[in-house]
Amino acid sequence: MEIFNAHHIVKQFSNHLALDRVSINVPNGSIFGLLGPNGAGKTTLLRIINQITAPDSGELLYKGKKLQPNAIYDIGYLPEERGLYRKMKVGEQALYLARLKGMSKKDALKKLKQWFEKFEIQPWWDKKVEELSKGMQQKVQFIVTVLHEPKLLIFDEPFSGFDPINVKLLKQEILKIKNKGTTIIFSTHDMGSVEELCSHITLINKAKTILEGPIDEIRKTYATNEYEIVFDGEINLLTATLSSQYKFLEHVKKNGRSIVRAKVLEGSSTNEMMKALLNAGTVVSMNEIVPSMNDIFINVVGESNTNDKNKNE
């Protein structure tokens, strides 16, 4: 079941086409990655979902029905450009933003206290926002984004400017929120975080969708039939390299073992490769080398750019 759908969204700014019939389908309870290079159209789409701006054409559905203005109470949005009022006190501003999301003063104060303690920023309650470091300000904005427990959370580069310890803290909180049933749309350039957190992705390049689906399926689709085989002790290099079943790519020795990287050749099977390698030594393990999302991102975007260039020539 999908909690949010965007169908064939088009958005034009002056002479710039920001979105060209882009669609996303966000499964309920998932962490959904919205990916793409700088200028691809991601932030424009997020602003449209949040009803900050409107599409020129296309359809937006929330829980299967046309997106309505009051859906704002079900949505939490953490934009890449932080937007706290610098002259206001931290606690006063956090309470104000919570009330805008429909929370009572009593509930807001109670939950703000819990979150401020969790993020260890209680001493900053009566400080002005301008007195806080960038990381502290981002913690405050994260808190006010999730405080009203929205059904749909949208994060645009949420880890920007955070040190590794605070990135880990935020990731833990995001996973806790997801495990309680909240759906999350997550936009980032950090492919490691995508692999760690997301189950589905859509990749946009130059205003168009160029890749979408479950991450596990995408990684398998782009696998290159390469395997890492670990042997106990030495291997017979001549036997290992002279085979019509696979291509020998790499061999290293580590901790008394031989580690080989090999590619199954077209027309051969993994079983045939294993039979050939068994003659080279004692096999301890064999694992398929699945490409990372970073590799896939670079390859797919690069291929898309090349195709566009060829069309324009």
CB atoms within 10 A of CB 81: 8
pTM, whole model, 2 decimals? 0.87
- Phi, psi values for residue 237, rounded to 5°: -60, -35
Q: What is the per-residue pLDDT for 313? A: 61
Q: What is the pLDDT of residues 144-190, one digit of tens each?
A: 999 999 999 999 999 987 889 999 999 999 999 999 999 999 999 89
Examine the pLDDT at 9 and tell me if it is beyond 90.
yes
* Band of pLDDT at residue 33, cut at 50, 70 and 90: very high
Query: What is the set of domains in the chain, with CATH numbers?
Result: 2-220 (3.40.50.300), 224-288 (3.30.70.1710)
Q: What is the pLDDT of residues 104-125, one digit of tens each?
A: 999 999 999 999 999 999 999 9
**What average pLDDT score do residues 192-207 get?**
95
* Band of pLDDT at residue 245, cut at 50, 70 and 90: confident
Q: What is the pLDDT of residues 293-305, one digit of tens each?
A: 999 999 999 988 8
Average pLDDT across the chain, whole number: 91
Q: What is the pLDDT of residues 47-96, one digit of tens each?
A: 999 999 999 999 999 999 999 999 988 999 999 877 788 899 999 999 99
Counting residues of the chain whose pLDDT is more than 70, the rounded percentage is 97
**What average pLDDT score do residues 130-146 get?**
91
Examine the pLDDT at 308 and tell me if it is beyond 80.
no
* Band of pLDDT at residue 271, cut at 50, 70 and 90: confident
Q: What is the per-residue pLDDT for 76? A: 94
Q: What is the per-residue pLDDT for 43? A: 93
